[in-house]
Amino acid sequence: MAAAENPLGAPTVSPGFDLSRGFDSRVRLNNGVSMPVLGLGVFQSAPGEPTRRAVRAALSAGYRLIDTARLYENEADVGQAIRESGVPRKEVFVTTKLWNTDHGFDRALAAFDRSLSALGSDYVDLYLIHWPSGGDRAESWRALRRILSEGRCRAIGVSNYTIAHLRELMQHSDVPPAVNQVEFSPFLYQRELLEFARGQGIQLEAYAPLTRARRISEPALSHISKAHGKTATQVMLRWSLQHGVIPIPKSVHPERIRENAELFDFVLTDEEMGAIDRLHDGFRTSWDPTGIP
Ligand SMILES: NC(=O)c1ccc[n+]([C@@H]2O[C@H](COP(=O)([O-])OP(=O)(O)OC[C@H]3O[C@@H](n4cnc5c(N)ncnc54)[C@H](OP(=O)(O)O)[C@@H]3O)[C@@H](O)[C@H]2O)c1
């Protein structure tokens, strides 16, 4: 594959995932656990039937990764929808997260128990520290390691961690995070973080991969999407996959949930990847964790 242009003038960080199995493509995390390369996010999906309908639609469309959090107040709906879907629990990769007010060893253990109980499951696939702020994150990490060693989650990781936060964690722990979930989109192409994470064997996951729909009408995206007969959102998600970053787009609309999964029948060229890379302008929908000490 020829080197493509990017904002820093060096080759892109690709290759991305092996997508030869289409929707069934998986990536192997640093502890050997296999994780789907595309998921459904449920932040701001209203608790109750709206979340349950979205999760059922996603599972029926072939999604096998659902991303929730204690903060979203819909863990119980995620658990219920999985049971209603008829898809065996062990085929679904469920992520949930420790909220900022639950930092600390004992508090984190208790928060995890509450999440398990809400999900109605005896394990989660991936448990993340949601933010590096709000309390003693090192003690929270110790709790996550305990949970992992007890077999009550299959992998542990972090979210919104910068390179400095990751370095700090790895200095004090011999268990590295399997995943770092961060905001990542064509307008926030976190290349340095991606390269660092890849070098350390940490899988990046992209939240707000569609910029919460705020930048999906960008002319450069529509130009590329028209060339492939796809939508701008599909191009944004495919760009993430080709960078080897797991996107977890959120929608409560079944037709959009299906649209966001039709990513495996086209390939962005190196030139297109480079053009999308250059859309980076630092746009964020969420808080910037850079200043968190
Ligand atoms: N770790 C963290 O701190 C963190 C922070 C934020 C998000 N997340 C996770 O990442 C997931 C995704 O991020 P996000 O929800 O912030 O933003 P997003 O996925 O970039 O965008 C979601 C928005 O885009 C709309 N949308 C989805 N598909 C569309 C399509 N095909 N065409 C037009 N509009 C479409 C949705 O509307 P409708 O629902 O009305 O379709 C919703 O308003 C979250 O749900 C959550 O699981 C994690």
Say if 48 falls within a structural domain.
yes
Taking CA atoms, 173 is separated from 57, 93, 137, 167, 275, in Å, by: 39, 25, 12, 10, 39
Which pLDDT tens digit goes with each residue over 151-160? 999 999 999 9
Check pocket membership of 247 for ligand 1, CB cut-off 6 A.
no
Atom of ligand 1 nearest to the CA of 256: 31
In a domain, 35, yes or no: yes
Tell whether 17 is covered by a domain: no
For residue 153 the two structure tokens come to 């989650």
Our CA angle for 58, 178, 67, nearest 5°, is: 20
Containing structural domain, residue 86: 23-280
Cα(293)–Cα(188) distance, rounded to whole angstroms? 21
Residue 187 lies in a domain: yes
Question: What would the mean pLDDT of 89-104 be, rounded to a whole number?
Answer: 98
* Predicted confidence (pLDDT) per residue in 219-249, tens digit: 999 999 999 999 999 999 999 999 999 999 9
% the chain with pLDDT above 90: 94
Please state the pTM of the whole predicted model: 0.95
Q: Is residue 1 part of a domain?
A: no
Phi, psi of 25 (to 5 degrees): -65, 145
Average pLDDT, the chain: 94
Structural domain contains residue 7: no
The finding on whether 121 has its CB within 6 A of some atom of ligand 1 is no
Nearest-CA residue for atom 17 of ligand 1: 208
Which CATH number covers residue 45? 3.20.20.100
Tell me, yes or no, whether 263 lies in a domain.
yes
Q: Is the pLDDT of residue 5 over 90?
A: no
* Catalytic residue numbers, as ranges: 72
pLDDT bin (cut points 50, 70, 90) of residue 49 is: very high
Q: Is residue 54 part of a domain?
A: yes
Q: What share of the chain is helix, strand, coil (3-state, %, to 5)?
A: 45, 15, 40
Task: Output the pLDDT for position 14.
Answer: 55
* Residue 123 in contact with ligand 1 by CB distance below 6 A: no
- Residue whose Cα lies nearest atom 19 of ligand 1: it is 249
Q: For the chain, what is the domain count?
A: 1
pLDDT of residue 1: 33
